[in-house]
């Protein structure tokens, strides 16, 4: 069985309070209509004590209901704030994951480009070496040709 929430208990208490007092009022009108003089020590007050206690009790139950409702609203607001904060953090995590993926893709591209550049440099070094070899051969040939022409 589900636990009764305080809200339901207060609603039942208010209804029971009203039913009991209205039932008592209906069958004992004379008691409610009695005007009693009460000495408070510093003054004498005249009034209807049963009506007074009925209203004080009803007001007390309504105040308790109001405070329970305000606590419930605060709790709901706190839960919603927590849900919003969690949703924002999940979005932040998603953005960070996307940034990480983008960084990995850029790193892979840079590594490919770096490898291509290294291969190109090696090829250029090879070509440079061949050109230097050809130039040395040409220099040797021209020197030998010059020696032969002189000799």
Residue 112 to residue 105: CA distance in whole angstroms:
11
Reported as a single tens digit per residue, the pLDDT across 66-108 is 998 898 899 999 999 999 999 999 999 999 999 999 998 888 8
Residue 150 to residue 42: CA distance in whole angstroms:
147
Question: Which pLDDT does position 1 carry in this prediction?
Answer: 41
Question: Which pLDDT does position 4 carry in this prediction?
Answer: 67
Let me know if 141 is exposed, middle or buried by CB neighbors in 10 A (0-12, 13-18, 19+).
Answer: exposed
pTM summary value = 0.54
């Amino acid at each position: 069985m589900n636990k009764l929430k305080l809200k339901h208990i207060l609603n039942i208490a208010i209804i029971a309070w009203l039913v009991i007092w209205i039932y008592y009022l209906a069958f004992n009108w004379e008691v409610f209509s009695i005007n009693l003089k009460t000495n408070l020590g510093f003054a004498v007050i005249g009034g209807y004590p049963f009506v007074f206690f009925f209203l004080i009790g009803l007001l007390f139950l309504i105040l308790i209901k109001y405070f329970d409702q305000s606590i419930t609203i605060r709790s709901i607001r706190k839960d919603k704030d927590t849900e919003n904060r969690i949703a924002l953090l999940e979005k932040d995590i998603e953005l960070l994951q996307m940034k990480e993926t983008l960084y990995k893709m850029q790193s892979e591209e840079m590594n490919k480009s770096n490898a291509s550049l290294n291969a190109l440099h090696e090829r250029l070094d090879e070509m440079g070496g061949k050109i230097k070899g050809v130039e040395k051969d040409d220099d040797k040939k021209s020197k030998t040709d010059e020696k032969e022409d002189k000799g």
